[in-house]
A and B are shown apart, each in its own frame.
Chain A
Amino acid sequence: GAVVSQHPSRVICKSGTSVKIECRSLDFQATTMFWYRQFPKQSLMLMATSNEGSKATYEQGVEKDKFLINHASLTLSTLTVTSAHPEDSSFYICSARNAVSAEAFFGQGTRLTVV
């Protein structure tokens, strides 16, 4: 399958700081990428759809000013958690979808801990 690289895999930050997570599709161009978060023992929750060259589309209840998404190229999308709080601690996962097959491939995920 295709490779989607996400980093960092783990990050610990202090409350009030910002954290940037990068997601790269390594062997195909992804005009659309997706950002999810997942709490322990719960299902994936779609946060936003990242569109190359345009604004992201956020799901209901997701604060766009808090979770900044940038999709500057066909292979890179970034998620910045701004002014992080302990309740933002979670597992964040990006996904890139092959436009031809519709198969979606996931990055390794980023475990964010806000202290």
Chain B
Amino acid sequence: QKEVEQNSGPLSVPEGAIASLNCTYSDRVSQSFFWYRQYSGKSPELIMSIYSNGDKEDGRFTAQLNKASQYVSLLIRDSQPSDSATYLCAVNFNTPLVFGKGTRLSVIA
């Protein structure tokens, strides 16, 4: 069974802090990993893709991948209230992407 696990939250952080979102997955052969942001009532929006071990930075977002530990994370620096949303981790097991249930982030002004 291919699974993607995330803490459901809510994760509350103060404005300006670093938000850290974590995800683990079950299948070692996975090659592609994604983070999506979903605002309430809207469809998911792709914010980061990562394919190799290490860090990948894009603006205030940093994705971190550790294939040996089967772990992928998303860091959001200088968190803003507009970052409040549900963040979905997705893993490509060479079939439809498998999504975690999402972590709800709340950034408090």
Contact = CB atoms under 8 A, between A and B. Distances in A.
The answer on A and B forming one complex is yes
B102 A106 contact: no
B43 A43 contact: no
Contact of B44 (A97, A106, A111): A106
Nearest to A92: B43
A33 B100 CA distance: 19
Interface residues of B, number: 20
A49 interface: yes
Contacts of A34: 96-97
Nearest to B102: A43
Contact of B49 (A6, A43, A101): A101
A1 interface: yes
Given A102-B92, A104-B90, A104-B97, A93 B49 contact: no
Interface string B15-38: 000000000000000011010100
Category for how many chain A residues contact B: 20 to 34
A68 interface: no
Interface string B59-103: 000000000000000000000000000001010100011011110
A91 B32 CA distance: 27
B96 A106 contact: no
Contacts of B90: 104
Contacts of B36: 106
Contacts of B96: 34, 46, 49
